[in-house]
Amino acid sequence: MAIVLGPNQYGKAENRLVVVSRDGSTHTIRDLTVSTSLRGDLADTHLTGDNSKVLATDTQKNTVHAFAKQAPVGEIEDFALRLGRHFVSSQEAISGARVLVDEHPWQRIEGNGHSFVAGGAEKRTTAVTVEGDRAWVVSGVRDLVVLKSTGSEFHGFPRDEYTTLRETDDRVLATSVTARWRYQGGGIDWAASHTAIRGLLLTTFATRHSLSLQQTLYAMGEAVLLARPEVAEVRLSMPNKHHFAVDLSPFGLENHNEVFYAADRPYGLIEGSVLRDDAEDAGSAWYSLPMF
């Protein structure tokens, strides 16, 4: 038996980066969390402690900061691609780079060019993988919280000796969407695509009658793939944020789906992938990202 080094990567995780651009007294801010990971000929540092091929994680952090100054950040996908390609092309030992960027939204406080209010929990995300001269872009949203107060049913499920859940033909359906979509092809307008896909996810959630969160998840992914040829696959993770109608009968009151207890945990966790059967090959890159 021999013991060998398996797959490995290293980098600086969760660089918190805020970039202020000034146009007179009107400022723009970009609030990003950037993580870099490098792969390549890195056996020596693990096996002997020879660090001659290790671009320090501190240097990776500094590169993120310098790149934010040397050119406009632009779309997060372009920023991540620039960083990933830089690491792979400038370091002989580095054959692959993964750059994750989350963008935290801020909105302008009306009437003031340089004051902002946090835009809520929703994040725009990207995960760029560079391998040699190839690159894959997987973008998405995280913590996109949605609720519909009708248009959702759940019934027809098996009943065994442990089942207590009542069937319902009208319930509140709420979830916090994490969606990742893998791009294929070139010449993509990242911002326009993001806006369109986010809109498709929301419209489908809102307008499709739901017999289960699973059915809604599939419909949301399908809507994206039908409308957006630049997307090969959509992966969705959707916790069921349960809203239980409160039993008001002890108080002699009827509850016609008006008063709910919004349970925090446990929650159902519905996850799935929707893809084209002729999607462009994802390479190893997509499959080494988290499935959901």
Ligand X SMILES: O=c1[nH]c(=O)c2[nH]c(=O)[nH]c2[nH]1
Interface with ligand X (CB under 6 A): 154, 165, 212-214, 240, 268
Asked if 12 is an active-site residue, the reply is yes
Give yes or no: 27 in active site.
Answer: no
The closest of 54, 35, 32 to 43, measured between CA atoms, is: 54
Report the residue number, 65 or 166, with the smaller CB distance to ligand X. 166
Is cis: bond before 158, omega within 30 of 0? no
- What b/e string do you get for 228-245 counting C-beta neighbours within 10 Å, with b at 16 or more? bebbbbbbbbbbbbbbeb
The minimum distance between CB 215 and ligand X, in angstroms, equals: 8
Annotated catalytic residue, options 33, 57, 61, 114: 57
Does 67 appear as a known binding residue? Answer: no
Q: Which is nearer to ligand X, 238 or 282 (CB)?
A: 238
**Closest CB 220 distance from ligand X, rounded Å:** 13
Q: Which of 123, 148, 242, 243 is catalytic?
A: 242
Q: Does 58 appear as a known binding residue? A: yes
Q: What does the block give as tokens for 272?
A: 């799935």
- Catalytic residue flag (residue 204): no
CA–CA dist 100, 39 (Å, integer)? 14
Nearer Cβ to ligand X (214/273): 214
The HSE-up count of residue 130 (CA atoms within 13 Å, CB side) is: 25
Determine what percent of the chain falls in helix, strand and coil, rounding each to the nearest 5: 25, 35, 40
Nearer to ligand X, 213 or 234 (CB): 213
User: What's the closest the beta carbon of residue 34 comes to ligand X, in angstroms?
Assistant: 35
3-state secondary structure of 253: coil
Contacts of 48 by beta carbon, 8 Å cutoff, 6+ apart? none
Cβ at position 212, least distance to ligand X in Å: 4
Residues annotated as catalytic (active site), given as ranges: 12, 57, 242
Annotated binding site for O2: 57, 240
